[in-house]
Structure 1
């Protein structure tokens, strides 16, 4: 008798172990053995056989809709065994009836018999079960039962269409999935606990066990469905709370990959629908930090949660979103598959898709707040698992462009172009960098032509943009050559390309704008005005078109109309410094220095309002919050203080490099140190001080002009613009030797600075070096033949040399050029691609 009892205890222990571990083959063998040894246990044996056959079948053929028909025959035997335990014997063994009904509900769900499954759950009185401690296997069965009931309710909607019934149905489904989710998390925590207890002491494997295969589609649905239903019923805050509850549960090995999905989805919900007053931070969320009631124990059906005094709790939606996405990124990087072996292809693709989904959300979030450096760091980490993956490379290139690291961005774009052999956009982006930032016009033109070739072979509706970029390339090359024949050919090629762009897309305002700009460069003002007006008809808010129209009006000597238009545009774009600068120059030339001085003073106040906070915070330049002033009034790409200069891009870039090197030398030899904060803001202030100095000189206020030049010099001592202004000051004071030295220094830094060349020629004239004056002025005329000041100065020099015919020709040329000369060169308008 004792031996039999011990044998029974052993069999019972093996059965419990087999159920807990999901060893269904062994469980069926034990049940068959139990049935043959103890006929009185036949009911229990049939239950175990039915359970084993059901679970082993569903492991092979998961309970999804496409497997329903197969399950109706494949589960017939398991169903028969389970039904045999519902009879009188089963009632006598009442402790089994609950599990039998729950497993029969699961069986019918797998077969697609949803109403029958609900009937069994009603017989089991599933909704009124007491929350008590359950064995691990029972936790799983109950969790699956609640999940299946919720899924069956979705398949069997209420017959009544009343709002009350609909709300009751929604509430019942959500309650099922919430209970199922809590029980699932608790079950998985218990599984981890048992795994730790059963592990061999002193042994360790670098590869953790993979219990995820035991979760199955039912429990995965249980964990993810409730917040989705909350969102579908408009209860967004409840969805957020549900996600938080699941994420605050202690992590298990089986939920590691699932937590990546949950964190990403919660971030998406917060990004899309929870902002401002709608947002409730976790501290005020009673589901996360419930009020503790004395004497009330925590439910055994709730998952164990992280607790502690030093937990970080986000205070705003932005903090929570960024925290969630950074956690998601860490998990995505951890799960990344680095091996390129074919057998890991599916796993590698799955992990990569998860990672890129996180990176895209991270980009949307961080770029919105200007944290481009954080986005870039994330994409740097992504490089190790992004071999031959163009999406991540493209995002990295865009990050580098936003950070102002254009040479590096161009290198990354070349890799993108290789990875995407038919795509047009990467070629256009590469061309834009070459045109706008690195001044590699020939290379930019090559990328534009390659883009057109790709567009021709694989149309992507970008033909107009391809022709436009080609035209920009030709136009920039034309502006940077002094050979007349070559310049004319390039200008004609630019016009042809702009016309093709306009014909390809007649509604493209940029094509009309660039046609107007090119005609303006050529001195064909009537055609230029016609095209710029067409551009404004297509896009009345295009600032470069408005600036071009102002300059064309000034070239037509319609000063009042130009000022009136400027005032209207400045009201719409009060932060645009370029517009204010143009206004000051118009006022200086036509209304007098006092009016211009008022405008320049407003510019200084505007600079303080726009940039002082940035300077104090020492933030990165790319976090600039003013979209209208980012690309205007740039010291290196347009010589705005030099209204008589052609402001050639390539030479200005070379000058900026010389100036930067000289400033570094100055800082090493003296107490000079660069100002903190975005250097572009300081360079902008330099231009304002120089404008003020120019205005003070015009009204003979020498002391104030000196003060303004000194302010500019304190910021950036080695600028050729500052040296030129110092030369003008000495020239006004008739200190010609000192003026000559200043102009020579300016030209040494920027050999194409025509304003310095014009005044150096005059200074040579005043000093009696007429031949040197003539040579300097002819060099200036070759660089920029459209400057009337150069021709006038040359005429004065030739007249002093008694070369009256040549002097007369120069003066005539000056008069001819002056009639179509704008208040500022057309090149002072920043290059635009939008």
Structure 2
């Protein structure tokens, strides 16, 4: 039979207490693991507002009380919030200062304290150095920023099997190493930028807004090729970037990439040398450019992004279609001054690219409908001086939308000077010149409403374009200033007759003849008017 061993009370008590200690240790380890997992997730998703509360939980649970891990988290959250608040300054390469940026000042103080004490584990110490490099960079201290990256030795680090926020830090560090303005781009941009692109290609877990350094890291995927003159390979890389499934946070980056692709296509790719978006660049072009070296090439990513499938999607057929079909759409609601300025710059660049594309297609009528159309059409006139339709379109915009009458008259006169070569546009040019003169008369009357001559000629111009009712007002002004003027009375007679007021026209003509009995034209008009008037009973 089985024998149950006896356990003394002392031993049994010690065993129970050890079990309780082991369970408590497991609970502590699980709580710490849960908190650190949440921290990793918040850092990956850039939820910086949630970092301070969770740091308070770390302090309350007395986790990491022997190092500065909590302080490191606070420093990172403050820095990232500061960068997000100053995106416009960073894009304009305006250095941030401690005086104007309290969050940046506090973050820098925390990091200085951490680095002076040296209590962090090596992994977290590297993160502190990379964060300090970002601070130096945004403050314009580029050599100090590179020095911090050198202390980390980021070239020796690998991006494989690393948490997402760690990959982001590495990508940003490569951007800092590659964008030092004191060193030639041709020697330093390529290697860091290619690695930055590799480490930044992992898809974000949520629709988060990309920060300044993240956008710069993603842009380096194609800029490193374009800066070296590898336009075909750069365009191919841009197409790959734009096929990545978009998210809310990537919209700004996609607009920049779409504009860059349109610039490359319109400036460097002709209709004959265009290749389809899903195919590789022509081998002849690649040979002409020279193959990109291993440092220029894109490294394969261990976490490739999800891309749109090619089934049942629109595929451009030529260079203009692709340039005009990108994501460069202005959709931001301009609530603040800086956002309005950015929206205006985006809209201007998009319109410029569309204008180039429509000009290459010969779609000049569409060009005349947009803002800045005159400048674009005048450039088209310079490129195709033999085409009379272009200055006529520009003159139409000058008159109808801008009221630039002198500019419109000059454009119309350029068509008149072509003579018979202008073909059917010649009579239109003469008409436009006359219309400009008529509208200039309106401007003159507005400047001096008490000049009888100006009022008379304004009325005459309006009458010539069959605006009879409108012509009566300035004519009444002219007659009030000079009631016996021959031309004013004659014009009034004609306007009344045109409106079927024949009796009033005859009375006006009789009054004019009483002042000017020797005038032959007035005498010649009288019989025809009498025929139109009913006979008195």
TM-score (norm 2): 0.58
Return the match for 2:107 from 78, 87, 90. Answer: 78
Match of 2:238 among 236, 240, 243: 243
Moved more, 250-259 or 344-353: 344-353
The answer to whether structure 1 residue 224 and structure 2 residue 219 are counterparts is yes
Q: Which has the higher helix share?
A: 1
Shift of 1:190: 2.1
Please give the residue correspondences for 1:466-477 in structure 2 after superposition, counting only pairs within 5 Å. Answer: none
Native 8 Å contact 1:390 1:419 kept in 2: no
Runs of 5+ in structure 1 lacking a partner? 158-165, 196-210, 288-296, 457-834
Matched with 2:321 is: 323
- Match of 2:149? 121
Match of 1:173 among 189, 194, 197: 189
Cα displacement string for residues 7-34 of structure 1 (whole angstroms, at most 9, x for unaligned residues) = 4344334423432343334312322442
TM-superposition CA deviations, 1:49-71 (whole Å, max 9, x none): 22122222222345734333337
Is 1:426 aligned with 2:408? yes
Residue 775 of structure 1: aligned partner: none
Equivalence for 2:254: 259
- Deviations 1:509-567 (Å, cap 9, x if unpaired)? xxxxxxxxxxxxxxxxxxxxxxxxxxxxxxxxxxxxxxxxxxxxxxxxxxxxxxxxxxx
SS at match of 2:159: coil
1:427 and 1:451 in contact (8 A); partners too: no
Q: CA deviation at 1:363?
A: 2.0
Change (3 A) 1:285 1:150: farther
Residue 363 to residue 17, structure 1, CA distance change in 2 (3 Å): same
Q: Which runs of 5+ in 2 are unaligned?
A: 1-23, 287-298, 445-537
The 5-angstrom pairing of residues 446-595 of structure 1 reads: 446-447=434-435, 449=437
Q: In the comparison of the two structures, how many residue pairs are matched?
A: 388
Does 2:132 match 1:104? yes
Give how far 1:119 is off: 2.0
CA 1:347–1:276: 2 relative to 1, 3 Å: closer
Rounded to whole Å, the distance in 2 between the matches of 1:393 and 1:338 is 27
Deviations 1:406-463 (A, max 9, x none): 99x9799545414322353434556759985374686344136469999x9xxxxxxx
Identify the residue that residue 365 of structure 1 maps to in structure 2.
360
C-alpha distance 114-266 of structure 1, shift in aligned 2 (>3 A)? same
What secondary structure is seen at the aligned counterpart in 2 of 1:68?
Answer: coil
Give the equivalent residue in structure 2 for 1:714: none
2:348 and 2:69 map into 1 onto residues whose CA distance is: 47
How far does residue 248 in structure 1 lie from its aligned partner after superposition?
Answer: 3.8
Matched, 1:283 2:280: yes
Cα deviation, 1:192-236, whole Å, max 9, x if unaligned, reads: xx35xxxxxxxxxxxxxxx4xx32332333333564554444444
Query: In the alignment, is the contact (CA less than 8 A) between 2:168 and 2:200 conserved in 1?
Result: yes
Post-superposition offset of 1:118: 1.3
* Cα offset, 1:44, TM superposition: 1.4
Query: How many Å separate the matches in 2 of 1:272 and 1:343?
Result: 30
Give the equivalent residue in structure 2 for 1:208.
Answer: none
Per the alignment, in what secondary structure is the counterpart of residue 108 of structure 2? helix
1:144 aligns with 2:172: yes
Q: Tell whether the 8 Å contact from 2:409 to 2:433 is kept in structure 1 after alignment.
A: no
1:728-743 alignment to 2 at 5 Å?
none
Q: Aligned with 2:424: secondary structure?
A: helix
Q: Specify the SS of the correspondent of 2:302.
A: coil
Distance 1:149 1:421 in 2: 53
The SS at the match of 1:283 is coil
Deviation at 1:45, TM superposition (A): 1.0
Aligned residues of 1:90 and 1:96 also touching (Cα < 8 A): no
Query: Which of these residues, 391, 394, 399, is aligned with residue 417 of structure 1?
Result: 399
Name the structure 2 match of 1:581.
Answer: none
From the superposition, tell whether residues 48 and 343 of structure 1 become closer, same or farther in structure 2 (CA, over 3 Å). Answer: closer
Shift of residue 48 of structure 1? 0.9
Deviations 1:686-720, CA, capped at 9 Å, x for gaps: xxxxxxxxxxxxxxxxxxxxxxxxxxxxxxxxxxx
Corresponding residue to 1:58 among 83, 90, 95: 83
- CA drift of 1:90 comes to 4.1
How far residue 304 of structure 1 moved from its aligned partner, in angstroms, is 4.0
Change (3 A) 1:53 1:262: closer
- Give, in angstroms, the shift of residue 323 of structure 1: 3.4
Q: 1:267 to 1:365 in 2, by over 3 A?
A: farther
Deviation for aligned residue 1:143: 1.9
Relative to structure 1, the CA distance from residue 365 to residue 440 in structure 2 (aligned partners, 3 Å threshold; closer, same or farther) is closer
Report 1:2-21 matches (<5 A): 4-5=28-29, 7-21=31-45
Contact 2:115–2:125 (CA under 8 A) maintained in structure 1: yes
Specify the SS of the correspondent of 2:246.
Answer: coil
**Aligned equivalent of 1:27, options 51, 67, 81:** 51
8 Å contact kept, 2:82–2:101 = no
Question: Within 2, Cα distance between the matches of 1:278 and 1:440?
Answer: 39
Do the aligned partners of residues 3 and 420 (structure 1) sit closer, same or farther apart at CA in structure 2, a change above 3 Å counting?
same
**Structure 1 residues 261 and 430: CA distance shift in structure 2, 3 A:** farther
Q: Is the 8 A contact 2:194 2:224 kept in 1?
A: no
Answering whether residue 160 of structure 2 is matched by residue 132 of structure 1, we say yes
Q: Please name the residue that 2:458 is paired with.
A: none
Q: Is the 8 A contact 2:133 2:145 kept in 1?
A: yes
User: SS at 1:100's partner residue?
Assistant: helix
Deviation at 1:38, TM superposition (A): 0.9
What SS does the aligned partner of 1:424 have?
Answer: helix
